[in-house]
Amino acid sequence: MEMAELEQKVCKILADNLSVPEDQVTPSARFQEDLDADSLDLVEAVLALEEEFGVTIPEEEMEGVRTVGQAIQLVAAKLGVAA
């Protein structure tokens, strides 16, 4: 999978999961401030990402994740997709 495709997929999943318009879900968007996602929303969103990509994202790895871009990087690293 190319990075661009991965990015698109992650954004789509997050938009669906957080019930926000897709055009708001950009790499620079911050979960809490821009997408109105609280801690439970994030747990649910991670579950959806894990399900879609068949990866495991432990809680401690999510701790520093504040933006959509960081989430994309996390998934990319798990899948070995290069930027």
Partner 1 sequence: MNRVVVTGFGPVTPVGVGIDAFWEALTAGRSGIDRIQRFDPSGLPVQIAGEVHGFAPEDWMTPKEVKRTDRAVHFAIGAAKLAWTDAGEPSVDRARTGVMFSTGIGGLDSLLKQHLVLLEKGPDRVSPFMVPMLMPNAAAGHVAMAFGFTGPNACITTACAAGSHAVGEAFRLIKYGLADVCIAGGTEASILPLTVAGFAQMQALTRNPDPAKASRPFDKNRDGFVLSEGAGAVVLEEAGRALSRGARIYAEVCGYGASADAHHITAPEPEGLGAIQALQAALEEAGESPDGVEYINAHGTSTQLNDAAETRAIKKTLGDHAYRTAVSSTKSMTGHMLGAAGAVEAGVAALAVHTGLMPPTINYETPDEECDLDYVPNQARQGEVRLALSNAFGFGGHNAVVALRRFED
Catalytic residue list: 38
**Closest by alpha carbon to 48, among 12, 6, 7, 5?**
12
Binding partner 1 (rule: CB under 8 A), the pick from 11, 13, 14, 18 is 18
Should residue 44 be labelled a site residue for partner 1 when binding is judged by CB under 8 A? yes
Measured at the CA of 13, the angle between CA 65 and CA 1, to 5 degrees, comes to: 85
The number of residues in the chain equals 83
Give the interface segment with partner 1, choosing from 4-12, 24-32, 46-54, 67-75 (CB under 8 A).
Answer: 46-54
Residues near partner 1 (CB under 8 A): 18-20, 36, 40, 43-44, 47, 50-51, 56
